[in-house]
A and B are shown apart, each in its own frame.
Chain A
Amino acid sequence: MKLSVLQQSYLNRRSNSFRSSGPLDSSSDSAIKSPAAIFWLVLHGLCCLISLVLGFRFSRLVFFFLFSTSSTNFYTSPFRSTAELAKTLDVRSVLSTNPVSNIELPLLNKTAMNSRVVVGRHGIRIRPWPHPNPIEVMKAHRIIERVQKEQRFQFGVKDPRRVIVVTPTYVRTFQALHLTGVMHSLMLVPYDLVWIVVEAGGVSNETASLIAKSGVKTIHVGFNQRMPNSWDERSKLESKMRLRALRIVREKKLDGIVMFADDSNMHSMELFDEIQNVKWFGAVSVGILVNAANTDETADQKKDEEENARMPVQGPACNASNMLAGWHTFNTLPFAGKSAVYIDDRATVLPRKLEWSGFVLNSRLLWKDGGDKPEWIRDIDMLDGDIDSPLGLVKDPSVVEPLGSCGRQVLLWWLRVEARADSKFPPRWIIDPPLEITIPSKRTPWPDAPPEFPANEKPVIGIQEPIVKHTTKTRTSRSKHRSKRKHETRTDTQVSTRHSEQN
């Protein structure tokens, strides 16, 4: 590496000079030492001796002050170590008395006069508060943003189209977790965005309050059916909800690229750049994150491990000439019979044959009037029954454009994780009213401080008041408290002395 050469070069250069080139060096320099050089050498030795005696560095600065003839520029800013500017003078005075050729002397005087660069030791300038200044940091971030915007303008997508994101959701414990993830991904997308959120069970305040924080344009629509408890039914309902969203796109004549972002999926930012390349109907590769449930037999486990070593991918498959040749789908055979049926089953959740999230379409395909729509697209209103995946909308699946370098890049990941059916969570994840009972924890990392209660003769009620609120529950809790403390006194004798008296 060049750097190492540089570093080592200067490291060893000097040591080399001291080691081997000493005689060479002096031979190339003037052999006869001028009296001034000898004088300075003697002075240097004298200073060293004085320093030895005194115990600190005796600076030749003194002599510089005494004998200074030419004007030098001083560094008045704060120094880290005392600057030995005398060294500078050394060089110059030696040079001026050395019998060098005449040509060099006038040049040398020029060096002393015009140049502000001085050879020799310099101080290391440190400002009074050598730490980052938050205002400067913010300015720098704005500069970086501007530079990146320019980069995107030059090398990124030309004429980006608006992205229409369709998300089916419903209120459940993990909704906040999943929806916040999708929301933050969408907030980072540098293009125009419209987010259509279809909610099973009707519009609710929960969802509305979550998506209100996004700052992107949202269309929140309710679907008048509750989400069923089995995975099969759920995906069927989700397909219906997505079709509902596509009808909204048609009604409002939204122009852009429609993509399906399920609320528990993970999207990379490159996905949004890649889908801008779609012309009519595209497909991307989806990584399937399947949580293999723990099985009892070790043999099965080993097989599972082998299966899971390569993450299964659903998406377009291309032949050698980068044309669509088929589809990669998820192999459900290893999980046959062992997959989750109900939403809170602990077994593996399997994806559909082809997930909706792996497809993107141009919103003009959904518009009512003909225009320049290709004829291989089916009209949404003419569909009989429901479709399992967007491929049901096309009559000829070979027109699908494979995106992400022909399906080689995995741009998003599919995952289904849900909590137990009976899990409860506070509405909007706000604890209101505040919790009533506060019990001090038994095991604290710091040693039990002696309680700041006054004398032991005071009645128990008065002491325990500050800990426990005045509610009807207090009595029962206190009794529990007391009994718990009784247990404690048996085990911990040190603490028990005061506690037992309280009890």
Chain B
Amino acid sequence: MVRFKHRYLLCEVVSDDPRCRLSLEDRVLGGLIRDTIARVHGTFGAASCSIGFAVRYLNAYTGIVLLRCRKEFYQLVCSALPFITYLENKGHRYPCFLNTLHVGGTIRTCQKFLIRYNRRQLLILLQNCTDEAEREAIQKSVTRSCLLEERSDEEELSDNGGEEEAAEAME
């Protein structure tokens, strides 16, 4: 079968500043990554990576980004991600870095990984939380996610978004 194969990079934007994640926009981030690839890999890198490049999914609450690139050049993109040191939006510069969580061949495998990763993150949040009200809210989210897991093997990303929003809103 002849088709264009892609690699989907699941990354997390980590920053000290809480305003950094909220100012995430797909076009701004896409432009920033393209500029970084042009700087690190030159004209050749910029041209080869930008053909199939797209920001597929962006979650401003958790800072999760899903990038798509062609399979032949995904290593160029992967190697350029550590060179991103700041995010610029409306004249404000926030220092941050991109953590690559998973590289998958399809969106579905990245989604499955993200679901498992978020469950683990909820448990870690439960361990680290200090407030009683927070603790109850997170425990509710955890039990809800376990129930959903029993009901169906595949969860929708929207359900996940609800849990994350609840967890993040509590922080």
Real complex partners, A and B? no
Residues of B at under 8 Å CB distance from A?
none
